[in-house]
A and B are shown apart, each in its own frame.
Chain A
Amino acid sequence: MSARRWGQDAGWWLLILPAFLLMTAFYIAPIAQVLAISFTEPSPGLGNYERLFTSESVQRVIITTLRICTITTALALLLGYVLAYRIALASESARRWWILAVLVPLWISVLVRAFAWVTLLRRQGLVNNALMDTGIISEPLQLVWNEFGIIVGMVHYMVPYAVLPLLASMREIDPRLLAAARGLGAPRFTIFRRIFLPLSLPGLIAAGVLVFIFSLGFYITPAILGGGKTLMVAEWIGLQILDLIRWGLGTMMATVLVVAILATLAIFSRLVDLRRVFGSGA
């Protein structure tokens, strides 16, 4: 870059300087500090990170988190896909109601929703009572305060986040392509499998990454629906820092979480080229 260009660019950089300083002060600096603590507490070195390979409890938390997030992502994508498909093919007026129905849960506090699930799923909850009254089961099922409960709550929270990117990519698909496939003799399922599904793949990948990253940092839902028995990363970090005052270990896990999210995004940005490979349908 020539000196003159640099001078021109400097003017533009100046314009974003306030935003940059704000970000540095309130966002980057605390993260840097978290990173620093993870290397210095309780003693300087890589001691905290060594736990990743030696401590069984640390490994268990990570594996539990990954398992729950993977299952949640898969279920949210499946439900989200069915919903988005239905909405994309609905009439204009019906579509508005569908979207509203999908978005309303987003406006309800995550705390309220978690407790609502507890009410539904606990031993004397609506679901268990209904199942026992109809005689399908004789003993109440353990539906909450375990992984099952966490997954139910998280999937419920995540479905709208899966629907929105899916819907966006499905609505980009030219309906004439589906008509053309039909005109060329393809039955419904073939049209879906060979035309619709591949063309909605970019949306599926975007929704998957979004939901997975969101799930990794889930705190309230697992805390309430897990009942303290099943620990996910976020709750575990809270426990280390707030209850056990083990700042080093807590910040180490926080750093791992941030790195995991960045890694997922990095992989995603490679995959996003798929949009080119498969065409955007526009």
Chain B
Amino acid sequence: MLGTGHALALRGLTKRYGSFTAVDSVSLKVERGEFLTLLGPSGSGKTTILMCIAGFVAPTEGAVLLDGQDITPLPPERRDFGMVFQGYALFPHMTVAENVAFPLRVRKLGAADRDAKVRAALDLVQLSGFAERLPRQLSGGQQQRVALARALVFDPALLLLDEPLSALDKKLRAELQEELKVLHRRVGRTFVNVTHDQEEALSLSDRVAILNHGKLVQEGAPAHLYEHPRTRFVADFLGKSNFLHGEVRESVPGGFVIGAGPTRILQAVAENHRPAHGSRVLLSLRPEKIALLAEEDAADNVVMGRIAAWSYLGAGYTLVVETPDFGALRVALPTWQAPIAPSEGLAVRLGWSSTASVPVVEDAA
């Protein structure tokens, strides 16, 4: 279905409120039919960017381009974008069918055409039997689907989603994530989603753009961002991460060795990214990539420590292991693979391979 949607581009988008820069020169491309998520903590400028795309906020500098055409000066009502608002913003005095018909009525579509499209849109979100209900007679998840149907019914060039799942409880959110994904494949349109929920971003998106303090920090496919975070912020915000500080002691084929105190850590690296001898480096190490080693097991890197705290999560354990040279390291391991029953104060051997961790840079403040 790729190719039926429209392509969007942001060029040097900047929004200032007085001396405060909400969005700082963000350039970004969204391909036809792509599902892009703008991910960031609150205040990162992600919603402002979405509002600039929708036309509700005029950027201070930069441009919004749709299929290469500058649409920056167009008001929202002339952009023809579908939008799902935070809290859905369903019209409380209209039935579900009237809500969905609203964008068609505004576009002066004939009654027969309108009814057919409304029915198709409600079918799409599996709400066919709810046409005559009022929004407040629906559950949160159903309201969310009505908002989706209303945003999609007029074949918009783009679908914008502002924290579409944030008002729902965890289980329902997971369900609707799946539905949203299926829906995106079925309608094949370009979706731009805003969220602060990293799980939602990872599971839904073709591509994620991570924002912090109004700046685009990194963008890429979810797996790429997770496995190869460029900065400490990305590694920390997307999933959990341990950070190992050290100094480059020597170069070895395919990697380098850092030292922190007496401990030596082997880190694999691409040839062209080799850091200078003696420089300080920061490694990001995911908790699930650390193994608890038995006496006889070997690994590229082995660190001794004591369990300072642990919690049982059903599917797995989370351990906090105090180590002499790297401080507290967080370790996640599946319950069925745990070689020991954790207890506080227990001495453990931690091991990980040289490819498990990745060098990251500190974020500019």
Contacts and interface: CB of A to CB of B under 8 A. Distances in A.
Interface in A188-227: 190, 194-195, 198-199
A183 B93 contact: no
A281 interface: yes
Max chain A Cβ within 10 angstroms of own Cβ: one of B83, B92, B136:
B92
Given A177-B89, A179-B89, A199-B92, A185 B83 contact: no
B92 A182 contact: no
A175 B282 CA distance: 47
A180 B161 CA distance: 12
B77 interface: yes
Interface stretch (B37-45, B101-109, B199-207, B303-311): B101-109
Interface string B50-85: 000011100000000000000000011110111101
6 A-B pairs with the lowest CB-CB distances in the bound complex, closest first: A279-B92, A180-B89, A184-B103, A176-B89, A183-B83, A278-B93
A135 interface: no
Contacts of B82: 184
A174 to B, nearest CB: 7
Contacts, number: 70
Contacts of A195: 91
B35 interface: no
A177 B91 contact: yes
B141 interface: no
Contacts of A182: 56, 75-77
Given A180-B83, A180-B85, A185 B91 contact: no
Given A184-B154, A194-B105, 13 more contacts: A180-B89, A181-B102, A182-B77, A183-B54, A183-B77, A184-B103, A185-B107, A185-B154, A186-B103, A186-B106, A187-B77, A190-B106, A280-B92
Contacts of B77: 182-187
A282 to B, nearest CB: 8
18 contacts: A176-B89, A177-B92, A180-B83, A182-B56, A183-B55, A183-B81, A183-B85, A184-B77, A184-B83, A184-B103, A184-B151, A185-B103, A185-B107, A185-B154, A186-B106, A198-B93, A279-B93, A280-B92
Contacts of A190: 106
Contacts of A199: 92-93
B150 interface: yes
Interface of A: 174, 176-177, 179-187, 190, 194-195, 198-199, 277-281
A203 to B, nearest CB: 13
A194 B76 contact: no
A157 to B, nearest CB: 32
A281 B92 CA distance: 6
Nearest to B98: A194
Q: How large is the interface on B (under 10, 10 to 19, 20 to 34, 35 or more residues)?
A: 20 to 34
A180 B54 CA distance: 11
B316 interface: no
B342 interface: no
Nearest to B54: A183
B52 to A, nearest CB: 13
Nearest to B89: A180
A183 B89 CA distance: 11
Nearest to B160: A183
Interface in B103-155: 103, 105-107, 134-136, 150-151, 154
A184 B150 contact: yes
B87 interface: yes
A186 B102 contact: yes
Max chain A Cβ within 10 angstroms of own Cβ: one of B56, B76, B81, B151:
B76
Contacts of A180: 83, 85, 89, 91
A113 to B, nearest CB: 38
Contacts of B136: 279
A280 B56 CA distance: 25
B49 to A, nearest CB: 15
Max chain B Cβ within 10 angstroms of own Cβ: one of A180, A187, A280:
A180
Contacts of A187: 77, 106
Contacts of A198: 93
Given A183-B76, A186-B77, A187-B77, A176 B92 contact: no
